[in-house]
């Protein structure tokens, strides 16, 4: 059986490297494999870490970041009335976030904004976070009921497994 305390390197598997700068008879004297004068022949570090050998470096190829994106910005999923036809045809009378998520019209972390684009004759109650002024007028004329829910911070889905 092979154990850790028995394992050993075989003979001649570890060769000592030639010592540099020890006269010409060693084979590594005079220029010592560094060539003649120049940056590479000098001591110390050679190139800065992002050096790309004449190619324009990545940090110069990328555009400068011009704008600040707020971390507290609100993201809205925009829903047109015409996209609700399929849900209303299934017989739903109250449309809220849960119904919209099931029909994949709204992303989980997004708020809901309703726009009036299309015509629906059925009377429905809908709950959204925002609605355009034109949408509210036309919805009230059509006899719908719109409930505007106060905007609250939606907790994002945690990536940690509990």
pTM here?
0.51
**pLDDT value of position 2:** 76
What's the structural domain count of the chain? Answer: 1
Tell me what the pLDDT averaged over the chain comes to.
85
120 lies in a domain?
A: yes
- The arithmetic mean of pLDDT across residues 97-108, rounded, is 91
Distance CA 109, CA 126 (A): 19
Asked if pLDDT for residue 143 goes beyond 60, the answer is yes
61 within some domain: no
In a domain, 109, yes or no: yes
pLDDT digits (tens, 9 = 90+) for 14-56: 888 888 888 888 888 888 888 889 888 888 878 888 899 899 9
Q: Is residue 104 part of a domain?
A: yes
Domain range for 93 is 76-148
Mean pLDDT within 67-84: 83
pLDDT band at 81 (very low <50, low <70, confident <90, very high): confident
Q: Is 92 domain-assigned?
A: yes
Whether residue 106 contacts residue 112, with contact meaning beta carbons closer than 8 Å, is answered with yes
* Domain presence at residue 96: yes
Which range, of 71-80, 98-107, 124-133, averages the lowest pLDDT? Answer: 71-80
Distance CA 95, CA 105 (A): 12
Whether 142 is covered by a domain: the verdict is yes
Q: How many residues does the chain have?
A: 162
């Amino acid at each position: 059986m092979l154990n850790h305390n028995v394992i050993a390197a075989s003979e001649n598997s570890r060769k000592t490297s030639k010592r540099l700068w020890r006269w010409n008879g060693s084979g590594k004297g005079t220029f010592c494999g560094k060539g003649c004068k120049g940056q590479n022949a000098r001591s110390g570090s050679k190139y800065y870490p992002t050096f790309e050998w004449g190619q324009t470096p990545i940090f110069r190829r990328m555009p400068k970041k011009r704008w600040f994106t707020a971390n507290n910005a609100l993201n809205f999923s925009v829903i047109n009335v015409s996209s609700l036809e399929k849900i209303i045809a299934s017989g739903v009378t109250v449309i809220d976030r849960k119904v919209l998520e099931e029909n994949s019209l709204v992303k989980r972390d997004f708020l809901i904004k309703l726009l009036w684009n299309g015509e629906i004759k059925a009377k429905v109650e809908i709950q959204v976070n925002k609605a355009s002024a034109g949408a509210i007028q036309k919805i009230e004329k059509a006899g719908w009921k719109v409930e505007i829910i106060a905007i609250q911070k939606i907790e994002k889905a945690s990536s940690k497994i509990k």
